[in-house]
Amino acid sequence: MVIAIDGTSASGKSTNAKRVARALGCVYVDTGAMYRTLAWYCLKNRVDVQDARAVAALCRKWKAALHCLEADGLRVARLFVDGYFPENEIRTAEVSAAVPHVAAVPKVREWMVKRQRECLQFGSLVMEGRDIGTNVFPETDFKFYLDAKLEERSRRRAADGVRENLAARDQRDSQRAVAPLMVPLGAKVINNSQMTSEQTSGLIIAEIRKRLAEK
């Protein structure tokens, strides 16, 4: 089983995907962290993230491998590079600024989608990102799209101590040539502007259990 949770930045994808994964005993996959890892690796190796050919070349040859491990009572699939997962490094402002450029490279997305589909080796998945239901697992019956008002998403980012132009990020994500951010066909859309994470995840879990009972 694959549960796809897509959505805009700061719409609560990570928090809710983790809650759903815990409740249903699935492996949690943060695809954004995979792109962040490559962005971090590009910066670390002084590769210009705006040079698509250079980024694609690095992606072809880096020594990255999937691992599934326990973290805070949750099974998590992570992309290790040279046997290391840069957990803190990938959350810096510098990496955040580099990610959209790296994620827009067609060859990078092609490589990432293959790795993301390989996560099935670990079992049932709750996978969050921006193109899971449209591009990575379009065949899944469990698609959810999270969103919230721009003001609320900006407030959430600021509460996390992160300054990011979310309107610009939304525009880049939705207008990129390859796998743009959009609502997947058949997805349940949840606007959680005035909802808690408990309410949002509860809605997702209830919907999944209902569909499983109907099968």
119-129 pLDDT per residue, tens = 999 999 999 99
Written as six digits, the tokens of 193 are 């502007």
Residue 108 CB partners (closer than 8 Å, separation 6+): 35, 38, 55, 56, 59, 102
Provide the β-strand partners of residue 68.
Answer: 77
Average pLDDT in the chain = 94
Q: Which of 25-29, 132-136, 155-159 comes out lowest in average pLDDT?
A: 155-159
Question: From CA 4, how far away is CA 78, in angstroms rounded?
Answer: 17
- Which of these, 144, 129, 138, 136, lies nearest to 191 by C-alpha position? 144
What's the confidence (pLDDT) of residue 5? 98
Torsion of CA 134, 136, 140, 143, to 10 degrees: -50
4-13 pLDDT per residue, tens = 999 998 999 9
- Which of these, 115, 137, 125, 106, lies nearest to 34 by C-alpha position? 115
Residue that the structure tokens 């390989």 belong to: 118
How far lies 180's CA from each of 30, 39, 169, 185, 196, in Å? 17, 18, 12, 14, 27
Domains, the chain: 2-207 (3.40.50.300)
Residue that the structure tokens 């809605």 belong to: 203
Pairing of strands 142-147, 125-129: unpaired
What's the confidence (pLDDT) of residue 17? 97
Q: Which run of H or of E encompasses 115?
A: helix 106-118
76-107 pLDDT per residue, tens = 999 999 999 999 999 998 998 899 899 999 99
Taking 80 as the threshold, does the pLDDT of residue 215 lie above it? no
What's the confidence (pLDDT) of residue 129? 95
Q: Are 184 and 129 in contact (CB under 8 A)?
A: no
Task: State which amino acid sits at residue 190.
Answer: I
What's the confidence (pLDDT) of residue 124? 98
What's the confidence (pLDDT) of residue 213? 94
